[in-house]
A and B are shown apart, each in its own frame.
Chain A
Amino acid sequence: MRNIFRIARWEFISRFRSRSFLFNTFVSPLLFTAVLTLPIFIFQYQPEVSTKLVGVIDLSDENIGQNLQDELNRYYRLKNRSPEYMILKVSVSNSKPYSRMLKEYREIIARKDSINSLYNQIKDQRTEYYKNTKIPNREYVLRSSYEKLQITREEKELVQIESNRFKTALDSLYRNEAKNMADSLLITEVLNSYLVFTRDFTKNGNMEYHSKNPGDFRETERLEKILHTIIIKKRIINDNVERAKLRKWLNPIHIKKYQLFAEGQKEWNFYLQFYGPLIGVFLLFMAIFTSGGYLFSSVLLEKSNRVIEVLLSYANSRQIMGGKILGLGFLGLVQVLIWFTLTLILIASDIIPAQKINYLTLTNALYFLIYFSLGFLFYGSIFITIGSISPNEYDAQQINQFLRTVAIFPVLLSLIVFTDPNSTLIRTLSYIPFLTPSFMIMRIPLSAVPITMDIYITIIILIISIIGIIFVAGKIFRVATLMQGKRPTLTELIQWMKIS
């Protein structure tokens, strides 16, 4: 029995002093937290370099550019109070085909105008002739002026058709030229992005957003929100609603979220609620796989360098296995306790706002310890078995990698756990011993109702699995550690279990 403690002490001390333990205890959690939270910070506190130029191609007559500028100015300003966004109406005045076409169009308009005035003149004249019955040759004058009017009207209609056609062509040219222009401005990074408004955008709500990076949700979300307001405003104004009422109607809303707990309600914060448990799972995973990994490499090392033979001559295989599990399990506990202490320090120094985080409780700390211990025993005994039957490190590491992937798999489902930590799927999955620790560590803080029953059930399932695996591991370890060379077949493994 005393040899168990001696072996445990040796395993503990030699790993505790190793650089990898220091790294896994202090650096890895820091790195992970940084990797997890950095994008949020970058996203929220992006350095505002300078005012961003947003181009507008407006094919309607709504003067949307000005509206957009006004609204953007209302909401988004830089720290020095200057506007964050500047709207630039994309100009096509430099485009030769457009100016040529515009010139022609203007000529047509001029012709249209002159014909219009000619037409009106004739009409006026004819009115005059009607009124004045004393005009000599009145009948003739009336008839000839009517013919004139007819001809002019025909011409006027023709010019109208031509001008309409030209207008459409001009619009489409304008659109293309403006887009070309805007594209070149995007490429040269003068513009941040540009928007294209079609003629009837207020009615059909269609517009285009062009950017080098349309995936920038922060930008698109802002523009979408503002355009939405502007367009709705325009639609309402078109229905002749008072402006004063309008403002009242479009007043923005804010939702504050609260979560109900047995002990009362607490304000709900996405980041604290989501990333907290995620960091918890990661730490649990780290703890289990740091000490479990040591267990694994320790068996593998002793097998490959044959220290195991010396050890077996001093202590029996049960003592060796027990000593290793005890020593490295204790190492894991020390690691967890170091993290607890660090958390307490962070709380005491107000870096972690403990009063806002309802799941930072002693009970949950205890659950963390329980799931760590059980998870360690579970994975640890699997590692011992694999370590002792693996003929070489390469094979063993592959299985190790696989187990790690399985254990971290619940993190992939974290969003599902987040939406409903007690759904049937998640509950069922958390009964699978490989996944239990990770799932439960996420579920306990996320669930609004206590899941004591599930905690008991999963603990019992884990304990039963651990007993089973340790039983098998003990038998296989005894025989397998002295074997060298090839990987045993399943039949051989069963035989080993029978003979030992």
Chain B
Amino acid sequence: METNILEVNQVTKWFFENQVINKLSFKVKGGETFGLLGPNGAGKTTMMRMIMNILQPDEGEILYNGIARNKIKSLHFGYLPEERGLYPRAYVLEMLIYFGTLNNLSRRKAEVEAIRYMDRLGMVDFSDTRINALSKGMQQKIQLIAAFLHNPDVLILDEPFAGLDPINQIALRDILSEYKKENKILIISTHQMEQAEKLCDHICLINQAKVILDGKLSQIKKKYRENAYSIEADNSIAFLHDIKGINIVEENNNSCKFTLSHDNISISKFFEQIKGRVKMRKFEIVEPSLHDIFIKLVQEQTAKS
């Protein structure tokens, strides 16, 4: 299967005197979930609108499989904007069919697909209801369906989990992972770092119109790993304080988080030292959360400028 690829090269966008995007570049491959993260006003929505061809970049180019974005039909792209909107007086199924046909689906195909997705998200009973009679969460689901009804090759979702209950979050994640398996491109923007962490393979963090972090999630995590461990035991572990080369960061009842200073002790030495002294329940390498990395980087960069 050939790999789809979306490239954003040195894209710059101005709104009159305001530079909202400054020479932004990234690359997304098919089968990859790409997380476009950043604080409010970082330029995420503008970037997504440019990928959707709603706005044109002032400089740079956006390529899909090597072809300029504005030469490609919109039906290859699906979009869930951050600000949700539907026709309040329209009937659910009719509106979904309308959106489907706008992306070149036949009416029949659009109807079948719409019903299929509504069934998966548990709302097939509402197909003949008016939008304004639905709850916020249900409207959100309808909007999601509208975004991927036509099975686009590139799917851009802005805050897809906002307003969904945990069960529907799982249903959505299932749909998205199926989608990923088809080697398609998925771009997600969110403020919920836990969601991004669970879902994304590739992260791009932008702040003040620039990329401040770009890479595979696993690599990023490795890079920001603090060499920290956590241990939990059934008996007291106060003796850890006496072992040389251990810095205790956090300590609770029979559990603690610590780092090893490289010069004095290695992890295997550490195990030798505690052997027989502790009834261990859990031991793990502490990964830095994306949340922490995000805050740290954004604060650092904002302080610099």
Instruction: Enumerate chain A interface residues (CB-CB to B < 8 A).
Output: 2-3, 6-7, 10, 14, 18, 301-302, 305-316, 482, 495
Contact = CB atoms under 8 A, between A and B. Distances in A.
A452 B116 CA distance: 60
A310 B90 contact: no
A310 B98 CA distance: 12
A18 B130 CA distance: 13
A414 B52 CA distance: 53
Contact of B54 (A10, A18, A309, A495): A309
Contacts of B55: 482
5 closest A-B pairs by CB: A306-B85, A305-B85, A313-B79, A314-B102, A307-B85
A310 B81 contact: yes
Contacts of A14: 87, 89-90
Contacts of A316: 53
Contact of A313 (B16, B77, B88): B77
Given A6-B98, A306-B85, 14 more contacts: A2-B104, A7-B102, A18-B89, A305-B85, A307-B86, A309-B49, A309-B79, A312-B54, A313-B52, A313-B74, A313-B77, A314-B74, A314-B99, A482-B49
B52 A6 contact: no
A192 to B, nearest CB: 56
B84 interface: yes
Contacts of B104: 2
B102 A306 contact: no
A307 B87 contact: yes
A157 B49 CA distance: 115
Contacts of B83: 306, 309
A286 to B, nearest CB: 22
Most B CB within 10 A of own CB, among A10, A308, A316? A10
A310 B101 contact: no
B125 to A, nearest CB: 22
A60 B104 CA distance: 95
Contact of A309 (B81, B88, B89, B99): B81
Interface of B: 16, 49, 52-55, 74-75, 77, 79, 81, 83-90, 98-99, 101-104, 143, 146
Nearest to A495: B16
A293 B258 CA distance: 69
A356 B252 CA distance: 102
B146 A310 contact: yes
A313 B75 CA distance: 9
B185 to A, nearest CB: 15
Given A6-B102, A310-B146, A305 B86 contact: yes
Contact of B85 (A3, A18, A302, A495): A302
A18 B55 CA distance: 34
Contacts of A306: 81, 83-85
B174 to A, nearest CB: 23
Q: Chain A interface mostly helix, strand, loop or mixed? A: helix
Nearest to A3: B102
B89 A315 contact: no
Contacts of B101: 6
A8 to B, nearest CB: 11
Contacts of B98: 6, 10
Nearest to B88: A305
24 contacts: A6-B98, A6-B102, A7-B102, A10-B98, A14-B90, A301-B87, A305-B85, A305-B86, A306-B85, A307-B87, A310-B79, A310-B81, A310-B146, A311-B102, A313-B52, A313-B53, A313-B54, A313-B77, A314-B74, A314-B75, A314-B102, A314-B103, A315-B74, A315-B102
Contacts of A10: 98
Most A CB within 10 A of own CB, among B54, B77, B88? B54
Nearest to A499: B16
Most A CB within 10 A of own CB, among B55, B84, B101? B101
B64 to A, nearest CB: 14
B110 to A, nearest CB: 11
Nearest to A14: B90
B16 A309 contact: no
A323 to B, nearest CB: 10
Contacts of B90: 14
Nearest to A298: B87
Most B CB within 10 A of own CB, among A2, A18, A301, A309? A309
Nearest to A13: B94
A315 B86 CA distance: 16
A268 to B, nearest CB: 49
A313 B102 CA distance: 10
Nearest to A306: B85
Contacts of B54: 309, 312-313, 482
A482 B98 CA distance: 21
Contacts of A2: 104
Contacts of A6: 98, 101-102
A495 B17 CA distance: 12
Contacts of A495: 16
A310 B99 contact: yes
Contacts of B86: 305, 307
A310 B85 contact: yes
B149 to A, nearest CB: 11
Contacts of B79: 309-310, 313
A177 to B, nearest CB: 73
A315 B79 CA distance: 12
